[in-house]
Amino acid sequence: MKVTFFSHSTCMLEIHEKCLLIDPFFSENPIFKNTNFLKKFQKIDYILLTHAHYDHVCDVELFSHKFNNALVISNYEISIFFGKKGIKTYGINYGSFISFPFGKLKYVWATHSSVFNDGTYGGNPGGFLLHTDEGNLYISGDTSVMYEMNLIPHFGKLKLSILPIGGRYTMDIEEAILASDFLKCDKILGVHYNTFQDIQIDKKQAKKRFFEKGKELILLEKEKIIYV
């Protein structure tokens, strides 16, 4: 499985030649503003959305317009919102694995909020648990640490967890360390930090804190790749 980090929570997963874009945030993102970011993408098959906040969904229409066969997977309310705009969507909610060509996917609980910029209700926020024959991956979405994370490893051993670490709106470093205990996963890709003034972290210190607990925190520069 190939994971490309763009910035904030935006990642691209490549599994079985399928390209899954997670929470696209470019046009309003200070790191990508005024760049031709769409040119970076040759193919997108799925767009996964964890919740309706603009820093996770603001470019869905742009991407769907360019890649009009891409299927937007999110909670029921978000799928209705984009479905009304003529975008292909697949609405789900908590509670079961659903099979796709890249593997099985489950929408899982997150402790956060979810509303569109225009005030439209964005359903319950969530994360995604992906079980594939290239390994299992957990994307928590914006959330604090929560006891429900203990359930995730019951479904299968994780290779990697993608967790927010910037604090204020989500977990900070110490909460993410606790989350990784709950998840029984020692390899964490940190996201949702340093994009804005109020979610700044010290990257060196963050890595050190994980290392002291026998865990690995991966922090990628923009557009860098890891293979899991």
Binding site for Ni ion (CB under 5 A): 53, 142
Q: Is 134 one of the binding residues for Mn ion (CB under 5 A)?
A: no
- CA-based torsion, 134, 102, 189, 4: positive or negative: positive
CA dihedral 60, 65, 66, 70 (to 10 degrees): 70
Q: By the 8 A CB rule, do 60 and 24 touch?
A: yes
Smallest distance, Mn ion to C-beta of residue 209, A: 22
- CA-based torsion, 44, 160, 219, 228: positive or negative: negative
Q: Choose between 93 and 144: whose C-beta lies nearer to Ni ion.
A: 144
Question: Scanning residues 17 to 36, which ones bind Mn ion (CB under 5 A)?
Answer: none
Smallest distance, Ni ion to C-beta of residue 208, A: 27
Element (H, E) at 222: none
Smallest distance, Ni ion to C-beta of residue 142, A: 4
Q: Is 55 one of the binding residues for Mn ion (CB under 5 A)?
A: yes
Rounded-to-integer distance, Cα 111 and Cα 115, Å: 14
Q: Choose between 69 and 113: whose C-beta lies nearer to Ni ion.
A: 113
β-bridge mates for residue 161, sequence order: 138, 188
For residue 14, the partner it binds in Mn ion, Ni ion, none, with Cβ less than 5 to 8 A by kind, is none
For residue 175, the partner it binds in Ni ion, Mn ion, none, with Cβ less than 5 to 8 A by kind, is none
Smallest distance, Ni ion to C-beta of residue 112, A: 6
Question: Scanning residues 135 to 194, which ones bind Mn ion (CB under 5 A)?
Answer: 142
Among 162, 170, 142, 133, smallest CA distance to 226 is for 162
Among 142, 146, 148, smallest CA distance to 165 is for 142
Smallest distance, Mn ion to C-beta of residue 23, A: 8
Q: Is 59 one of the binding residues for Mn ion (CB under 5 A)?
A: no
Rule CB under 5 A: which residues touch Mn ion? 53, 55, 142
